[in-house]
Amino acid sequence: MKIASWNVNSLKVRLPQLTEWAAEAKPDVIALQETKLEDAKFPVDELAAAGYRAVYSGQKTYNGVAILAREEPADVVTDIPGLDDPQRRILAATVGSVRLVDLYVVNGKAVGDEKYAYKLDWLAKVRDFLEEEHKRHPHLVVLGDFNIAPDDRDVYDPVAWGEDVLCSPPERDALKAITALGLHDSFRLFEQDGGHFSWWDYRQAAFRRNMGLRIDLILVGDALKQAVKAAAIDRTPRRWERPSDHTPVTLDLDI
C-alpha cells in the first residue's frame, strides 16, 4: 500500500495537479490538507473518475481535510473528545487494515500569539485522541501538515529560524509527546541528513534556493514499522506552474 499526504492549498486550484500527480505516483491513499472547500463543493465525481473514493471534512475559505482511497474509507471521525472546534483539521478513517488520521495542525502564527496557545492546546488533545486510536488500531498511520519542523535538520537555516513558530521547543515537545505513543517519523527511518524539505514559502524564490522546512510528516505505529519499505518527499509538483507551497510526501508499506 502506498500512502501519500499533500497540503494542496486549495483543492479547487490544485485538482488538475492532484489528478496528474496521482496518475504518475499511483498512491492507494492520499490525505489532503487545506482543501478550503465546503463539503457540498467537494469534487467527488472528478476524483471518482481518477479512481478514488473520498471522505472529507471541509469549510469555506480555510482549513479542510480529506482522505482519498481506492476503496471507500470506513469508520470516519471528524471531531474528537475535548475539542469542540469549528475548524476542520482532523479526519480519521480506515482503509483496508490501516487506520489513518489526517491532521492539518494549527500554524500558530507566532510564539506567544493566541493562535499559538490554541496550537499547543489542540496538539495536546490530539495526542490524547491518538493514544486511544493507537490502542484500538495498532496499524495506525498519522499524517499531514504538522506545522512543526521536528528538529534542526528539518530547517534550512536553523540559526535564523531560531525558536520561532514551527520550531519552538514547546511545539517540538508536543510532537515528541505524539511520537512517544510509539509513532515513528517514517522519513527518518531512511534519511538522516538535513536539507530535505516539504514546504517552501512562496516568497523570495524560496523553492529555487531550497529555503524550506520539513513539516509534512507520515508517522507509523510500532506494529507497522517493519512493513515500511520506503518513505520519500516528491518535489515534482512543487516545480509545476502555480504550485502549492507544499509538496507530497509518501510512504510505501508492504501490506
Partner DNA sequence: ATGGTAGGGCACCTA
List binding-site positions.
7, 34, 145, 147, 245-246
Extended strands (E) in 53-128: 53-57, 65-69, 74-77, 90-95, 98-104
The correct pick among 19, 78, 94, 107 for binding DNA (CB under 7 A) is: 107
Q: Does 208 bind DNA (CB under 7 A)?
A: no
The correct pick among 10, 19, 78, 94 for binding DNA (CB under 7 A) is: 10
For residue 225, how far is the Cα from the chain centroid? 18
Cβ closest to DNA, residue 54 vs residue 215: 215
Active-site residue, selected from the candidate residues 134, 137, 139, 246: 246
State phi, psi for 225 to the nearest 5 degrees.
-55, -45
User: Distance (Å, rounded) from C-alpha 148 to C-alpha 127?
Assistant: 14
Active-site residue, selected from the candidate residues 145, 154, 185, 216: 145
Provide the angle, in degrees to the nearest 10, between the axes of the packed helices 169-179 and 114-136: 10
User: Distance (Å, rounded) from C-alpha 115 to C-alpha 119?
Assistant: 6
Minimum distance, C-beta of residue 23 to DNA, in the bound complex (Å): 21
Look up 118 and say whether it is catalytic: no
User: Distance (Å, rounded) from C-alpha 46 to C-alpha 43?
Assistant: 6
Cβ closest to DNA, residue 58 vs residue 73: 58
**Cell matching residue 207:** 523553492
Q: Does 202 bind DNA (CB under 7 A)?
A: yes
Scanning 55-63, 69-77, 190-198, 247-255 for contacts with DNA by CB under 7 A, the matching segment is: 55-63
Q: Nearest-CA neighbor of 34 among 78, 64, 79, 66?
A: 64
Q: Does 114 bind DNA (CB under 7 A)?
A: no
**Cell matching residue 3:** 500512502
Binding-site members for Mg(2+) are 7, 34, 145, 147, 245-246
Q: Does 161 bind DNA (CB under 7 A)?
A: no
Minimum distance, C-beta of residue 58 to DNA, in the bound complex (Å): 11
The correct pick among 60, 135, 225, 239 for binding DNA (CB under 7 A) is: 60
Residue 28 near residue 70, CB atoms below 8 Å: yes
Burial class (CB within 10 angstroms; exposed 0-12, middle 13-18, buried 19+) of 72: exposed
Look up 145 and say whether it is catalytic: yes
Q: Site map for DNA, 15-44, x if CB under 7 A?
A: ---------------------x--------
Angle of CA points 91, 37, 5, to nearest 5°: 45
Q: Does 226 bind DNA (CB under 7 A)?
A: no
Q: Does 214 bind DNA (CB under 7 A)?
A: no
Give the footprint of DNA on this chain (CB under 7 A).
Answer: 9-10, 12-13, 36, 60-62, 106-107, 109, 115, 147, 202-204, 242
Report, as residue numbers or ranges, the catalytic residues: 104, 145, 246
